[in-house]
Structure 1
């Protein structure tokens, strides 16, 4: 196997499941493996923990300019039900040209590309800060949030960043589109609480909080949020129209999504705010009306739409249901020029027929944490994918996998972007070094500190 495929496979065999409770197996073993690879390449890793086994790694590679670029990614993955998978989710098996396992796309494959490039010993055109973080799949409190609050000095000089969920190929007919993320919706995870009068289940209810909460949750689920076309999404639609050679009517976007289902997937989730009830918790016995009932809602809002979103939620909740934030992060956006143009150029150098376009993510990433310290973020994890692979379905899905050739393409694109003297021919660098055969147990030269 090539270096990048071996690293990806090794990472996938390390179970870093994050169930959101803060009490999972932790990311320490994966962090130690990453630190070992960096140390072997002469790059000094710094490890720190926000809590036992919630470990992150940061390293800096000097370049020709001290205007630093941050490349960040997360070590944790969401849970996987082994019984649903064709191949064990923590096997890291390479089969049919793909590396299989939970996190192959989200996002250990991207970490492998970054590490494979760094291990080549290429001098970057600007300082690079590499961050491999815990806890992105929950609130980020133990990972990026902790890093920017307690270890901000490690990101000194960083003005821009790249991370997950962009730069992949998306096929629409004969057109190969490369969405590069320039923004993402804000996050409002909320706990809803209804309070009433406890009593016997056989008697007429005085004030049943379960019923009150159920009505509020139903109103939220049934609400049809209006279209709010942000400048970033408008540009995405315009460039998709040019790439596909067909006008897309901005006044009839729901109909256009039906007409252009492949292209529509790239913008249907960012035309509106959204709120989805996800959890319910009420009662303790069938014949007892409880005094309280709770629910959780995953709310997302477009950049600049915070106040409208919250006002709508409060109206839908009504006077008897209160809300509090489990996690709240503002939406973020970055210019579709400057670094964006460099990202597009790196893709085109490896795939001259591709069409890079700006893109806004429906969900969220650690970019929100880094935005709080003034670092502009872009979603750029370059992958060349076959037309039949459902990229979006791989995120948190069953049988997650990533093509080896796609990973190798990503390493070459990163070289175009990062190296002071990149390869001159498309496909000239494939990353054929061999990494360690199994995860490393040593922390490397950086050592482990508590933060």
Structure 2
């Protein structure tokens, strides 16, 4: 019997809202050009939260202020292969004028915590911290040796974060065979013949990433003189060809598994045509899934010229390319062909596509942790149209999954929260996700 004056340990779900809010209030914007504040302040916050419960973590910096935190926890069964649990501390910038609230204010409104990083991914960082602090307070060990990492620079490809750590300190991941991180384990509410039913999407795959720069070359001249070698025109024509290209649709294993599962639950068939009716049932996850039906290319930046009456000698554009597993060379070859003879294609950043098995002990542990919290739900695989730091860890042979569990309202535009305006995370979903993550780490 617990003595009447003894205090019960703080449950992780009872402090996750505080931790998430305090992390959001730390501006760790990553502009991708080295001009942001860096992750040092957020990393020092994490170190402080760990030290408060007697845990000593390591700080790694690829450059001053570009900070990654690493903590190693001994597992209940050290003979089992190790697990990495990782998040990132940086966020994309936010233009405060576009928001209803201060993007770094962590205001609570309408049952949500609002702010940059609320879902990408200071919510998961907070869940990780809350679970670890609970383990430290109660003397609980995770099921297996666990390496917990809070990375820098994920929002700019991990050059100063995950890739740097893998290249310079691979020993951090000695013994680790599997990993979990962001953008998986969240729920959608599907219309089924027996009524609405939640399905949680576990991320088992993610598209590859190619950030390319197109550089058109031409003949400089006076703006009043006809010019059939105008670099701006050549670049515009190249972008138009790329934008008009119809990338063939293909269902990789994870996408097929999701569509089959949704079709079975909803009773909506799909076939050779675009599965529009099926995608419409996915609510806030539709955008992520729609982006995994084919390779995609989007123009994101343009730069040309220096004066109104001067035709420049060159013009550049940035394009963001995402390719399905097994389709890297196809995408790169197609973009080069579409760019044409007057446009040079330069690779700025290239990262692999991933596809992990939809079976095994780790997947089963993730499923069961979700179903213990939400027994009537279904759990399905899916492919992420974006990318995570699992790409860097894959270079060490580590198999990565997306598992940042959240139970979401069916009408929340979840995809729109990522890099969007008025980013927010439901408090109830965050609390339940913390329970699920803590349960998973204890039993996986």
Q: TM-score, normalised by structure 1?
A: 0.90
Distance 1:261 1:26 in 2: 35
| Structure-2 separation of matches of 1:419 and 1:64 | 9
Give the CA deviation at 1:310.
1.5
Name the residue aligned to 1:26: 38
Bigger shift: residues 331-340 or 7-16? 331-340
Per the alignment, residue 325 of structure 2 pairs with 303
Deviation at 1:201, TM superposition (A): 1.3
Matched with 1:397 is: 420
- 1:55 and 2:78 are equivalent in the alignment: no
Asked if the contact 1:43–1:60 (Cα under 8 Å) also holds between the matched residues in 2, the reply is: no
Unaligned stretches of 5+ in structure 2? 1-12
Equivalent position to 1:272, from 294, 297, 309:
294
Matches within 5 A, 1:88-99: 88-99=102-113
Structure 1: where are the runs of 5+ without partners? 423-451
Out of 97, 113, 117, the residue aligned to residue 127 of structure 2 is 113
* Deviation (angstroms), 1:261: 6.0
1:351 matched to 2:374: yes
Match of 1:439 in 2: none
Give 1:206 shift: 4.6
Matching residue of 2:236 = 214
**Is the Cα–Cα contact under 8 Å of residues 268 and 278 in structure 2 kept in the other structure?**
no
Contact 2:268–2:277, Cα closer than 8 Å, also in 1: no
Q: Relative to structure 2, which stretch is displaced further, 390-399 or 175-184? A: 390-399
CA distance in 2, matches of 1:259, 1:182: 22
Structure 1 distance, partners of 2:219, 2:274, is 46
Deviation at 1:267, TM superposition (A): 2.7
Question: SS state of the match for residue 242, structure 1?
Answer: helix
Q: 1:384 aligns with which of 383, 403, 407?
A: 407
Give 1:258 shift. Answer: 6.6
Alpha carbons 1:275, 1:297 under 8 Å: kept: yes
State the number of aligned residues.
420
The Cα offsets for residues 232-260 of structure 1, whole Å up to 9 and x where unpaired, read as 211111111122233332x1234445764
The aligned counterpart of 1:8 is 20
Secondary structure in 2 aligned to 1:169? strand
The equivalent of 2:58 in structure 1 is: 46
Query: Shift of the alpha carbon at 1:194?
Result: 1.0
Matched residue of 2:299: which SS? strand
Distance 1:139 1:248 in 2: 35
Q: In 1, Cα distance between the equivalents of 2:287 and 2:388?
A: 19
- Greater RCO structure (CA 8 Å; 6+ sep): 1
Shift in Å, 1:65: 2.8
TM-superposition CA deviations, 1:390-433 (whole Å, max 9, x none): 2111111111111221111111111221115x9xxxxxxxxxxx
Q: Does 1:411 align with 2:429?
A: no
The answer as to 2:255 corresponding to 1:245 is: no
Q: Which residue of 1 is the match for residue 171 of structure 2?
A: 153
Mapped pair 1:315 → 2:337: yes
Write out per-residue CA displacement over residues 303-324 of structure 1, whole angstroms, 9 at most, x where no aligned residue: 0011211121122111111111
Paired residue secondary structure (1:275): strand
Summarize the alignment of residues 285-300 of structure 1 with structure 2, pairs less than 5 Å apart: 285-300=307-322
